[in-house]
Amino acid sequence: MLHTELKSKIRKLWDKFWSGGISNPLQAIEQISYLIFMKKLEDKDILDEQNAVLKGIKYNSIFSGHEDCRWSVWSEYSADKILVHVRDVVFPFMRDLGEANSSYAKYMKDASFSLPTASLLIEAVSIINDLHIKEQNQDTQGDIYEYLLSELQTAGKNGQFRTPRHIIKMMVDLANPEFGDRILDPACGTAGFLVNVYEYILKTNQKKGISTLTPQKKKILDEESLYGYDIDRTMVRIAVMNLMMHGITNPKVVGEDTLSKRYNENGVYDLILANPPFKGSINKSEKSDELTISTSKTELLFLELMYNSLSVGGRCAVIVPEGVLFGNSNAHKSIKKILLEKCRLDAVISMPSGIFKPYAGVSTAVLYFTKGEPTEKVWFYKMEADGFSLDDKRTPQPDKNDIPEILEKFEKRFKENNESRFEKHFFVPFEEIKEKEWDLSINRYRKEKEKEVNHRKSKVIIEEAKKEVKELLEGFTKLSKLNK
């Protein structure tokens, strides 16, 4: 989470865009993304050049022959020159950076720079400079971008909530992605899951801070490992820029509805991480023939899609609304039967309703399952805190955080006692879940601890009663004497 000063600057940036005539929030975030991308292009180019010098190798700058496209150059231009230069020179340069057949080239082709005035551009440049993006570590850069997205007024429409970074990290840690995994996010949004997976694999393939991946393996990781889909072309553009700025030169992100007939990639992915739309529905005529569950609810269809897309032995960590856990319609039961009978449902982690605030107060859970073998027992965990307050402010509360314990207890679940239903975590056998009509709600199985009541001994109560009666009788005796 960002400190107050950074948040204030980002709100100021939003205010400038709105007052400057860009009132559509999605258009605003797209234009802001272009500017941040332009800034980070030069920051990354400088860093790459420094690394090349340290290694003693020749470096070819992306700005060779285009020096006037450097942020540090054009951002100093006067008001009568800057807007025309960025629109007609810098933006076309940025738009044409990708390889000819890349996702970047495809989805940037119809992108446009639409800041209306030089004064708005100059103010935006000034605020972005104040954010000191170059000096921030990668997590803070990501937080800046996530906070920008959190200001989207359209967030939450059709259940498209931004996933908090620490929840993404928890899911990635649970899934433990490895080099060689083919990884998918079928509703990738801004590519938060893919970025975190990429960083996780890079981090776990280091020795004393130096990568152990050969150039060939790094190429495989960059070009053949990470795949994303999203129905919104603007989101695809943002996702592509996000991945490129994390070092992936040719991101595999496609603007397509994975629930439609146009998608068919059954059995090809080793790992899926996702937070698909909760409230959406799909037109029956568009729905893929591979999806057999009779429903138009996207939260159920995405689960079947993920099952179909996984290879045997493939695993999936996905966020679902709480209704999926206890829903008892035929469609709900059908998908849960698939997860329990055709997969090993490893974990159900129920999360508190404040996780997605300020977007919404919806209660959610993380399902983690492995395709190809039936479930014997399911590990449940009731998360009560995630390190932040559960109100709209989401104030950091590091002393209230179940995530470290979740990761630790999940790893040790077969070595420790997980039988007590009074604890936050425990196993439930498959047969019991089947008897309860496939209910995956933890509250159906968890028992609340009864509060201890200290009852006084009967002898003490009797003695106190005798004393009170004696005092009453003495009072009546005195009263009667006075009346005489």
- Say what the pLDDT of residue 437 is: 95
Do 95 and 179 sit in the same domain of this protein? Answer: no
Q: What's the rounded Cα separation, in Å, for the pair 7 and 127?
A: 12
Cα dihedral sign, 16-18-19-20: positive
Is the pLDDT assigned to residue 158 strictly greater than 70? no
Do 132 and 229 sit in the same domain of this protein? Answer: no
- Say what the pLDDT of residue 134 is: 64
Do 119 and 162 sit in the same domain of this protein? Answer: no
Do 226 and 134 sit in the same domain of this protein? Answer: no
Instruction: Tell me, rounded to whole angstroms, the distance of Cα 476 from its chain centroid.
Output: 75
468 is a domain residue: no
CATH number at residue 255: 3.40.50.150
- Say what the pLDDT of residue 156 is: 45
Q: What's the rounded Cα separation, in Å, for the pair 37 and 246?
A: 11
Do 88 and 118 sit in the same domain of this protein? Answer: yes
pLDDT band at 28 (very low <50, low <70, confident <90, very high): confident
- Say what the pLDDT of residue 239 is: 87
Q: What's the rounded Cα separation, in Å, for the pair 234 and 483?
A: 95
Q: Taking the CA atoms of the chain, what radius of gyration do you get in angstroms?
A: 29
Half-sphere exposure of 208 (CA within 13 A, CB side): 0
Dihedral (Cα; 228, 234, 240, 245), 10-degree rounding:
-140
Q: Which of 48-52, 118-122, 278-282 has the highest mean pLDDT?
A: 118-122
Do 324 and 258 sit in the same domain of this protein? Answer: yes
- Segment 217-225 long-range contacts (CB within 8 Å, at least 24 positions apart): 217/179, 220/179, 220/180, 221/179, 222/247, 222/248, 222/249, 222/250, 223/250, 223/252, 224/182, 225/179, 225/180, 225/181, 225/182, 225/183, 225/201
Among 135, 153, 171, the domain-final residue is 153
Q: What's the rounded Cα separation, in Å, for the pair 254 and 229?
A: 5
pTM score, two decimals? 0.83
Do 189 and 298 sit in the same domain of this protein? Answer: yes
Q: Which of 174-188, 285-299, 334-348 has the lowest mean pLDDT?
A: 285-299
> Structural domain tally of the chain?
2
Cα dihedral sign, 71-74-79-83: negative
- Say what the pLDDT of residue 478 is: 66
- Say what the pLDDT of residue 136 is: 63
115 is a domain residue: yes
Length of the chain as a residue count: 484
31 is a domain residue: yes
Give the number of other CB atoms < 10 A from CB of residue 467: 10
Residue pair 380/433 in contact by the 8 Å Cβ criterion? no
415 is a domain residue: yes
Do 207 and 62 sit in the same domain of this protein? Answer: no
The residue behind tokens 């991101």 is: 251
30 is a domain residue: yes
Average pLDDT over residues 75-93: 96
480 is a domain residue: no
CATH number at residue 2: 1.20.1260
Among 92, 123, 153, the domain-final residue is 153
Do 142 and 199 sit in the same domain of this protein? Answer: no
470 is a domain residue: no
Cα dihedral sign, 147-153-154-159: positive
Do 99 and 34 sit in the same domain of this protein? Answer: yes
Do 95 and 124 sit in the same domain of this protein? Answer: yes
- Residue-wise pLDDT for 183-239, tens only, equals 999 999 889 899 999 999 999 999 988 899 999 999 999 999 999 999 988 889 888
**In this structure, what token pair is assigned to residue 428?**
């439930």
Let me know the angle formed at the C-alpha of 342 by 415 and 337, rounded to the nearest 5 degrees.
100
Q: What's the rounded Cα separation, in Å, for the pair 184 and 78?
A: 45
Do 317 and 411 sit in the same domain of this protein? Answer: yes
Range of the domain at 25: 1-153
464 is a domain residue: no
Closest CA to 349 of 373, 378, 326: 378
- Say what the pLDDT of residue 201 is: 97
Q: What's the rounded Cα separation, in Å, for the pair 396 and 401?
A: 10
